[in-house]
Structure formats: C-alpha cells, structure tokens
Amino acid sequence: MQNRTLIALVALALSTSACKKKQPVEYVQEGTSQLTGVVNVADPRAAVQMLRGFHELESNAWRWTASKFAVALRPPKDTSGGVKVYAEIVVADAVVDKVGLPTVTVTMDGRALPPLKIVKTGPQRVEWDVPVELLKGDVVTAEFSVDKFLAAGQVEQRELGLIVSVAGLQSSKAAAPAAK
C-alpha cells in the first residue's frame, strides 16, 4: 500500500513537472500604458512616443539619433510655474572631432524655441522654457535637431547626431526641489 502511495506521488510529481515544461512561452505582454511626459529611450512602453530619428537601443540605456529626432510628450497638468522641455544627451567626441560642436534647436508643435549652442562634449542636460500656450493639448511633439552631425556613410551607414537617454517635459515646480 505504502509502495503504491509512493509510486502515485512520484507519478504525480513527474506529471506535474511535465505539465510545467509544456507551459507556453509568453511572447506578448498586454496591459495598459499611457502617454507620458518623459520618454526614457530604453523603456519599451515609451518606444511608441519616439516618433522618428532614433536608432537602435544600445547598452540597454541610450540611443544614437539622426540629425533630427522627435518625441511625442504628454504636457504636465500643472503648467502654472512654467514648463521646460529637456533632453539628457551625450555629445560624442567622435562626432565633435570631425564636425565640431553642434547647436541644438527644438521645435514644439512646429514652433521653434531659441537655439542652444553646445559648449562641451560629454554627458549633459539641455533644456528650454516652453511657452505654456503650446501645452494646451493632450500631446505635444518636440522635434530636436542639430546642425552638425555625421552624415550617413561618413563613419558608418547611419546618420549620427546625439546620444540620448531621456527626453521630456518637466514643470518648473517639480524641477525646483531638485535644483536645490
């Protein structure tokens, strides 16, 4: 009797493990995602907000961009203290050595903000004040561009502008504590 129980238990354990092995691999993830005000280029949920000009994700953290790249952003609800559009970028020596330091411009829904001259290479944050009247809709498109870049074929097949990890909108109220 005990042997039978033992055999039954072993059979049950084996069949359970066999069943586990047959679990299909999930290749799809459902769930809800929402438009955000900040696009982390490594976040697959935000990838849909990278409208154009982004190359492949590298080191699971950043992407090279072309000379122009655009993101769709959700404006913050509270714009009373002013809003900044910003990007966390790396100005690569490999680019600057060949073409010089670039000037970055941003166009928000077609309206250009003042150009920003980059003065050093390496990681940095670039930001602009955004007129609040541009932030009245549910989505705003920020198109960044650089005047100096590596053309496709100059070093590699891709056109290379900046290295970007994050681009987004930030209300100045939210940014204030961080500035301290």
Partner 1 sequence: MTARWAAFAAAAAACLALYWPGLVTWFSMDDFAWLGLRLSIFNGHDFFSALFSPKAQGTVRPISERLYFLGLEWLFGLDPLPFRIVAFSTQILNLWLLIRLAERVTGSVAAGFAAALLWLANSALGQAMSWSSAYNQLLWPAFMLGGLHCRWTYLESGERRALLREWLLFVLGFGVLELQVVYPMLAGALTVLYRKERWRSVIPMFVAAAVYAAMNRGMAKPQANPMYLLHWDASIFQTFAHYVHMSMGVWRPGGEAAVEPWQNWLQLAAAIPAAAALALGLWKRDRWVLFGIAWFVAALLPVLPLRDHVSDYYLTVPVAGLALAIGAVAARNPLLAALPAAMYLASSGYAARIVVNYNSDRAEGGRILVEGVKQASARNPGKIILLTAVGSDLYWTVMNDEVFRLIPGIEVYLAPGAEDNIQKNPELGDPARHVLAAPVALATLKQDRAVVYSAAGPKLLNVTAIWKEMAVRRWETALAPVVDVAQPLLAAQIGAGWHTIEGTFRWSTGSAKVRLGGKPGAREIHVSAFRPIDGDHRANVELELWVKGRRIGAWPATRGESLKISAAVPTDLDVSVPLEVEVRVNPPLIEFGAGGRELGLVFGTIGLR
What CA–CA distances, in Å, run from 10 to 13, 21, 23, 34?
5, 17, 20, 48
Handedness of CA 48, 134, 138, 37 (dihedral sign): positive
User: Residue 4 Cβ, how far from partner 1 at the closest point, in Å?
Assistant: 40
Distant-in-sequence, close-in-space partners of 58: CB < 8 Å, separation ≥ 6: 64
Closer to partner 1 by CB, 76 or 118: give it.
76
Q: Partners of 128 in the beta sheet? A: 85
Closer to partner 1 by CB, 44 or 122: give it.
44
Closer to partner 1 by CB, 130 or 160: give it.
160
User: Residue 91 Cβ, how far from partner 1 at the closest point, in Å?
Assistant: 20
User: Residue 107 Cβ, how far from partner 1 at the closest point, in Å?
Assistant: 15
User: Residue 57 Cβ, how far from partner 1 at the closest point, in Å?
Assistant: 7
The whole-angstrom separation of Cα 121 and Cα 128 is 19
Closer to partner 1 by CB, 42 or 174: give it.
42
Residues engaged in binding partner 1 (CB under 8 A) = 25-35, 44-45, 47-57, 72, 137-139, 152, 157-158
Planar angle of CA 160, 163, 169, nearest 5 degrees:
125
